[in-house]
Amino acid sequence: MRLTVISYTLVGLMALLLLGFWKLQIVNSDRYTQLAERNRVRSIPIIAPRGAMLDRYGRVIVDNYPSFSVLLLRDDPQQVERLLPQIADGLSLTLDDIQQQLESVKALAHFQPIVIKPEATPGDIAFIESHRADIPVLEMLMVHRRRYPHGGFMAHVSGYVGEVSSDQIEESGGRNRPGDIVGKAGLERQYNDHLMGVDGMRRSVVNSVGREVGRLEQTDAVPGKPIRLTIDYDLQLVAEEALVGKKGAVVAVDPKTGDVIAMASQPSYDPNDFAVRISKEEWQDLNEDQERPLLDRAIQAQLAPGSVFKILMSTAMLESKGVPADYHVFCPGSAEFYGRVFHDWDAKGHGEMNLHKAIVHSCDVFFYNLGKQLGIDRISFYAGNLGLGHKTGIDLPGEEPGVMPSAAWKERVFHQKWYPGETISVAIGQGAIAVTPIQVAYMIGGIVMGGRFHQPHLLLSDKPAPEIDFPISDSTVDTVTEGMYGVVNEPGGTAGASKLPGIELCGKTGSAQVISEQGLKRAGKQSALKDNAWFVGFAPRQNPEIVVAVLVQGGEHGSSAAAPIARNVVKAYYDKKQGKIPPQQLTTQAVPPGVPPSFVAAAARNTKPDAGAEETVPTNPAPVPAKPQPVSTTPQSTAPATRNP
């Protein structure tokens, strides 16, 4: 009897245990299957390389190099916590640093690994490999690091990449995920969707101590697509080198298409520093630097154009017919308007001036009178239609619109009446007026093209760029062109020193007072008060092919500081066109990462700031022996070209 009781008890208990198995294996099987998968499968992303940036001839300007990042797998927070001191020690990081990083990703799901050291040294790699068993939470991630030209060349155009911000994730509509590397500035940002690839995933089987024992199917990364730029890197180098050590910008545009052939801004920063994670301090330094290296002066410096504006005044005069075409003024060196004396830059005076002479000699008194005759609204109308006061629409983020004042503008912004005296200042490009170098190039290009304005762009395309037509009569174009030709080529022209034998360089100088630029006031008093030097030039006289706008902040005289730079760019353009110089090999790309600041910058810093004088263009540096190029259109030798024989 008692044995029967025991038998039933046994069967009952066995049934209960079977029920337990039923619950685990049948009812909750899916959940445990998932857990088992998570145990055995480790997913490591395969980073898709970003597309390269090529110049208009297909030469590589920006590309990638392979590198390793150290990943921390956080599936098991307690294990990570326990191993932290060892990890910190092995990777030569501070415990605080790692903990801070972990703190910052607290909201992220645990199964997402994080990068704790972006650039792994060979020592780090050895450490990870030899501690696979006891520190299974470290993994190496092959990444593609961005490689930019050295010396900060073209930095503002290329921009840089960085870890995606939460705002960008939202903007992207699900395309970007936390930890992704995306374009943060410049073309990297503008064409991010094109440049950025789609990351793949490598899935491997790991055992209970984290050792990889097999591979599962992997999704390959889809590389980003390259972009071909309108930039001619030979001209870009000339522009950059001419600007090194100065503060300003160079923009070279093909007025027939809107192609930006060169675009430089200095002082610059090295985007290679951003390719690996940038420290908070470095970033702060860059932002607080009084020289403002992060500012892309080509599209963001909004400054008074000075005498360069006289070209617009001339066009407005001829087109509006507000004064007769043979309008002339006697210049005694100053003139009085509305009870105030306005001085000419040349106190001796220019004598009898017509429009042509006034452009050539940049006579202020002539344009004071002209401004008074035309009135601010008419000037403003033409300025607006010829590209000032609004963005050109170049394919770069952060372009500034500048300011073109008018009576209505003043009423709207300051709720004040326009004083006629202000018109006199605006007539020579001073006062409230502010333009960017790209606007100047755009405006002059449009005027000399007879009123056909091509939207400036950096992406080389078969399709013509959007065009705005504001027809300007041939006679006006001729008169303005002749005047600008005279500036460089006639005796007494303000840019006579920049004359180029055999090349019909036309241009206009400008020296603008900086009182309107508040930003500079923070800089030293001396340099803050120095005039900004402008020059805008084009060539040839008929059917121009290249427009170059140059700004040198604190350069004082457009003729000596800005004009020679434009001249060098135009000369290089012609030299190249006539086959006098072989196209450059892009030596920048052969430089391994981590090479100290380029020889160029160092050498240029030593040259005197008044580099405007003749024959002081730095020669091509070629910082390290050039290696064979990944992509190059030229079979030419790598010997540095001399542009100033």
Instruction: Give contact residues for other proteins (rule: CB under 8 A).
Output: 2-3, 6-7, 10-11, 13-14, 17-18, 20-22, 24-26, 28-29, 31-33, 35-37, 39-40, 76, 78-79, 205-209, 213
Residue showing tokens 């300025």: 383
Nearer to other proteins, 74 or 457 (CB): 74
Least distance in Å: CB of 57 to other proteins?
54
DSSP state of 277: P
Least distance in Å: CB of 26 to other proteins?
6
Nearer to other proteins, 107 or 209 (CB): 209
Q: Which amino acid is at 627?
A: K
Q: Which amino acid is at 494?
A: T
Least distance in Å: CB of 36 to other proteins?
4
Q: How far is 356 from 334, CA to CA, in rounded Å?
A: 19
Nearer to other proteins, 206 or 546 (CB): 206
Q: How far is 197 from 454, CA to CA, in rounded Å?
A: 31
Q: For the chain, how long is the longest CA-to-CA vector?
A: 138
Nearer to other proteins, 38 or 343 (CB): 38
Least distance in Å: CB of 129 to other proteins?
20
Least distance in Å: CB of 587 to other proteins?
51
Least distance in Å: CB of 30 to other proteins?
9
Q: How far is 180 from 197, CA to CA, in rounded Å?
A: 11
Least distance in Å: CB of 42 to other proteins?
11
Least distance in Å: CB of 18 to other proteins?
6
Instruction: Assess whether the previous peptide bond of 267 is cis (omega < 30° from 0).
Output: yes
Nearer to other proteins, 74 or 530 (CB): 74
Least distance in Å: CB of 28 to other proteins?
6
Instruction: Return the structure tokens found at 324.
Output: 């007769």
Q: Where are the alpha helices (DSSP H) in 23-165?
A: 29-40, 77-90, 95-104, 122-130, 155-158
577 Cβ neighbours under 8 A, 6+ residues apart: none
Least distance in Å: CB of 206 to other proteins?
7
Task: Give 438-481 as a DSSP string.
Answer: HHHHHHHHHHHTTSEEEPPBSB--SSPPPEEE----HHHHHHHH
Q: How far is 506 from 475, CA to CA, in rounded Å?
A: 17
Q: Count the neighbouring beta carbons within 10 Å of the beta carbon of residue 160.
A: 24
Nearer to other proteins, 25 or 279 (CB): 25
Nearer to other proteins, 210 or 245 (CB): 210
Least distance in Å: CB of 38 to other proteins?
9
What's the 3-state SS for 551-574? EECCCCCHHHHHHHHHHHHHHHHH
Task: Give 441-452 as a DSSP string.
Answer: HHHHHHHHTTSE
Query: Considering only CA atoms, which of 157, 205, 199, 203 is closest in space to residue 180?
Result: 199
- Beta strands 467-469 and 452-454 are antiparallel
Nearer to other proteins, 10 or 125 (CB): 10
**SS3 state of residue 307:** helix
Nearer to other proteins, 208 or 416 (CB): 208
What are the CA-CA distances from residue 236 to residues 110, 190, 232, 346, 581 (Å)?
A: 47, 20, 6, 35, 14
Nearer to other proteins, 20 or 123 (CB): 20
Q: How far is 401 from 393, CA to CA, in rounded Å?
A: 9
Nearer to other proteins, 35 or 613 (CB): 35
Say if CB 53 and CB 229 are below 8 A apart.
Answer: yes
Nearer to other proteins, 136 or 149 (CB): 136
**SS3 state of residue 541:** coil
Least distance in Å: CB of 34 to other proteins?
8
Phi, psi (deg, nearest 5) at residue 260: -85, 115
**SS3 state of residue 168:** helix
